Amino acid sequence: ILQIYQVEIYNRVQFLLVALEDISVSEAERETKFSYKDHIVLLGFNESGLEIANHFLAKKRDVLMLDLDPSLHRTMLTSFCGVDESSHGDGETRTQDRIGSNIFPVYADPESELAWRRYRLRSASLVVCCTIDRDPKPLCEFMRASKAILMVVTNSNEEAKVLYDLGVSYAIQQEYLAALEVGIMLKDEYTADSQAESLFAKRRTVHLEELKEEHDSYVRRRIGEFI
């Protein structure tokens, strides 16, 4: 009786298994189009990761992102346009006129050593770990033999010290950097000849324009949902 049920269950789910196999093959084929040497890698995704990707967008470099969020993965897949001619990227959809993202998404665990090996993190030029509330030691030990720059996002003073002891190139302490930016902003605004009515006027206008641009841009709006 058990064997009969096993056959019937298999017949019912067989089409799903075939579909999943096709998806896996398609994903594997897509990933082979990316050049895994001197590449830039984001492990996870947040505001810092987006700023880093935007920096390299201006330099016409694609950025590899490893993440396990299905919705984020789908969004990045549809918005990726590829800007780096030296990296194959998603060559079939690359176009100079298309407005999109330079983030090449891979559905993989950003905390898995198997993923680090598969996507050759030790051969990268820059690795940025955007995941928070995890043990950074395994990644730091894995990257110790690499010449790649390793940056790790943190919001803790104590963890920043630990990260430096573990050998990271730079600990991206987001709240610390934001506080520094506020200090710089205040020095720029409050000068000897500043007028009360003009304080923050230009910055406010620029910020509003950026918010409107994000709202008007489908790609930026979709990506913004995840940060």
Q: What is the pLDDT of residues 143-183, one digit of tens each?
A: 999 999 999 999 888 999 999 999 999 999 988 888 888 88
**Boundary of a domain, candidates 174, 193, 215:** 174
Give residue 136's identity as a one-letter amino acid code: P
The reply to whether 209 falls in a domain is: no
DSSP conformational letter for 23: H
The reported pLDDT for the residue numbered 80 is 84
Distance CA 99, CA 96 (A): 8
The reported pLDDT for the residue numbered 32 is 76
Average pLDDT of span 199-225: 78
Q: Which residue has the higher pLDDT, 40 or 191?
A: 40
Spatial strand order of the sheet with 149-154 comes to: 103-107, 63-67, 40-43, 126-129, 149-154, 170-173
Residue-averaged pLDDT of the chain = 81
The reported pLDDT for the residue numbered 93 is 44
pLDDT tens-place string over residues 213-222: 777 766 676 7
**Boundary of a domain, candidates 174, 194, 220:** 174
pLDDT tens-place string over residues 98-148: 457 899 999 999 999 999 999 999 999 999 999 988 899 999 999 999 999
The reported pLDDT for the residue numbered 89 is 46
Same domain for 147 and 43:
yes
**Overall number of domains in the chain:** 2
Domain boundaries, position 89: 34-174
Instruction: Say whether 28 sits in a helix, a strand or coil.
Output: helix
Backbone angles phi, psi at 211, to 5 degrees: -65, -40
The distance of Cα 150 from the centroid of its chain, to the nearest Å, equals 14
Global confidence as pTM: 0.74
Q: Which residue has the higher pLDDT, 62 or 80?
A: 62
Token readout for 27 is 């994903």
Give residue 104's identity as a one-letter amino acid code: F
Partner residues linked to 161 by β-bridges: none
pLDDT > 50? residue 90: no
Q: Which residue has the higher pLDDT, 99 or 62?
A: 62
Distance CA 175, CA 146 (A): 28
Same domain for 89 and 56:
yes
Same domain for 102 and 26:
no
pLDDT > 50? residue 17: no
